[in-house]
Structure 1
Amino acid sequence: MSIIGDGQLSAGPDNLVLRAAHALQQLGKTSSGVRLTLEKVIPQGAGLGGGSSDAASTLRLLRKLWSIPCSDAELASLGTNLGSDVPFFLQPHAAHASGRGEILRPVQCENLPWAVLIHPGFSSSTAEAYSAYAKTPLVGTEGAPLTLDLQGGKKLTLRPRNDLEGAVESKFLWIRTAREWISQQPGVLAARMSGSGSTVFGLWGSQREAERVVANGRGFFGPDTWMRTAQLISGVE
């Protein structure tokens, strides 16, 4: 396997893409092989599910390439052993996740907001974040109500919260500073740390608002800071 875009990422047996390929080989009892090229765009340890989405894409690709006769449920079970959020990336819809993240209920949304993502240039260990939280298991503060449009004219109201924020931000002041900066920007709908960090994100109602925040953010954090805009999607057909 070769890797493009991240010279620090291991291409050894601990890489999630290779682990996914080997796990599917064993499940399908096949000796078929493949040469893989992984182009990394999402930073490591960013709390954005980059590694898990890579693993999920590998499972879907190789199931088809190798003609492995396993169901979606079997593939999801295999994915759970690689990472709790791999099953989410195996299915095509936005979803409400429970359990360890492997119990999924699809949610069909419309007119979803735009996100601004800010990554500090360093990673946050998921294991260390949960370990720190276990020592002081405090419930995170809830954000202002966020109402999303569902298909059929219904509404879904959430109060965004991340219980890991306190544990991670006590170690990384930068993350707290960035989240608080986002929360002070005009028109913001939500401002949270993503997963176990280190990325923070904010939500806005339009692309123009999100791009304006990025422009302001480059002035505050520096022109080389990793910042991206992205529209949330409900899924793909």
Structure 2
Amino acid sequence: MTDSGVLTLPAPAKLNRMLHIIGRRDDGYHALQTLFQFLGHGDTLTLAPRADGEIRLDADLTGVSTDDNLILRAARRLKEASGTRSGAHITLDKRLPLGGGLGGGSSDAATTLLGLNRLWSLGLSLERLAALGLELGADVPVFVRGHAAWGEGIGEHLTPVELDTPWFVVVHPGVGISTPSIFGASELTRDTPPITMARALQGGASSWRNDCEPTVRALYPEVARALDWLGERAPSMLTGTGACIFARLEREEDAEALLAEIPERWHAFKAPGRNRSPLHDALDRRAS
């Protein structure tokens, strides 16, 4: 971040360390139980004030229409809710893959909300910003609140937790996955018995799973191949509805060694797990 009124902020990735689907609600959404954790890797947003009140975005997001762009939607919703006349020029450095299950769009929206709240000196609370974020998507509130969390409902009922913070190697097998296509699949498991947060945490990482993984395996052979390859080398799992998968490693040097083995046809990166969002760390540094 600079001292010139321009904010440069991270929009970190998330992992679903666990994802159970325990039912389907009357409104068509699925009832979930999940564990969210952040990564020390993600997109970067630069936000600069505009005196003319306009909101402009520089981003190369092929296939994402203006109306669907969560950054613009977040900025416009915050401007409307606050009544401010301020504007902003937003630049996105996109590193996270679209449709990867890493929450990139939701994280970008949360960084927009928190960053513009600071840039425009609005003083809105995290609770208010999280409520605005929920209007944009179920994953936005966890990024706004900024702490690893046990999530229930459609993922919006959050309880902060402390998880282990190993290194991860994240692999994108080069395919895009539509979340509605997975949640709409007839073969998707929707009746996992609910468990308590305490039981989930007591079981630990070795007992965690993702209920979407069998469906994604069946529908996307390249993801299945990547899961098999990675699973032979380290404990591995799908995040969200995919397409990204992650392997858990104890040490950075182990992550580096695994990263060096990844087949060239797949994109991959390594990153540490974080219980506190790098976005909140960056905002704190700005305030100090």
The TM-score, its normalising length taken from structure 1, stands at 0.83
- Which of the residues 80, 88, 98 maps onto 2:152? 98
Pairwise CA distance, 1:94: 1.4
Distance 1:55 1:7 in 2: 14
- The answer to whether structure 1 residue 214 and structure 2 residue 259 are counterparts is yes
Question: Which amino acid in 1 is paired with 2:183?
Answer: Y
SS in 2 for 1:228: strand
- In structure 1, C-alpha distance between the alignment counterparts of 2:150 and 2:269, rounded to whole Å: 24
> Is 1:21 matched with 2:66?
no
Q: Does 1:116 align with 2:185?
A: no
- C-alpha separation between the residues in 2 aligned to 1:140 and 1:123? 26
> For residue 129 of structure 1, what is the amino acid of its counterpart?
I
Whether 2:78 is the aligned partner of 1:33: answer no
CA distance in 2, matches of 1:90, 1:48: 15
Q: Which residue pairs with 2:96 in the alignment?
A: 42
In structure 1, C-alpha distance between the alignment counterparts of 2:77 and 2:224, rounded to whole Å: 38
Say if 2:182 and 2:188, in contact at 8 Å, map to a contact too: no
Residue 227 of structure 1 corresponds to which residue in structure 2? 268
Change (3 A) 1:52 1:228: same
1:201 Cα offset (Å): 0.9
Residue matched to 2:237: 192
Q: Could you say if the C-alpha distance between residues 114 and 167 of structure 1 is closer, same or farther in structure 2, counting changes exceeding 3 Å?
A: same
Instruction: Kindly report which structure 2 residues correspond to 1:131-170, keeping only aligned pairs within 5 A, or say none.
Output: 131-132=184-185, 135-138=186-189, 157-158=204-205, 159-170=207-218
- Unmatched runs of 5 consecutive residues or more in structure 2: 1-56, 193-200, 282-288
Alignment check: 8 A CA contact 2:175 2:222 kept: no
Work out the CA distance in 2 between the residues paired with 1:114 and 1:139. 31
Match of 1:178 in 2: 226
- 1:63 pairs with 2:92: no
1:49-88 paired onto structure 2 within 5 Å: 49-88=103-142
SS of structure 2 residue aligned to 1:232:
strand
Structure 1 stretches of 4+ moved >3 Å: none
How high is the sequence identity, in percent, across the aligned residues? Answer: 37
- CA RMSD between the two structures: 2.2
Residues 45 and 198 in structure 1, CA contact (< 8 A), matched pair in contact too:
yes
Q: Deviations over 1:9-66 (max 9, x none)?
A: 5362321000000110111022321111111010111110111100000000111222
Give 1:139 shift: 6.4
Q: Deviations over 1:95-136 (max 9, x none)?
A: 1111111111111345x211111112221111111111xx22
Q: Which has the higher contact order (CA 8 A, sep 6+)?
A: 2
Distance (Å, rounded) in 2 between the aligned partners of 1:172 and 1:80: 29
* Contact residue 166 and residue 248 of structure 2 kept, 8 A: yes
TM-score (norm 2): 0.69
Letter of the aligned partner of 1:184 in structure 2? E
Distance in 2 separating the partners of 1:139 and 1:115: 28
* Structure 1 residue matching 2:66: 3-state secondary structure: coil
Partner SS for 1:118: strand
Structure 1, gaps ≥5 residues long: 142-149
Aligned-partner Cα distance in 2 for 1:51–1:59 = 12
Aligned partner of residue 87 in structure 2, secondary structure: coil
Alignment CA distance shift 1:210-1:194 (3 Å): same
Q: Distance in 2 between matches of 1:22 and 1:131?
A: 30
Q: Distance in 1 between matches of 2:257 and 2:118?
A: 42
CA distance in 2, matches of 1:87, 1:59: 10
One-letter identity of the residue aligned with 1:193: L
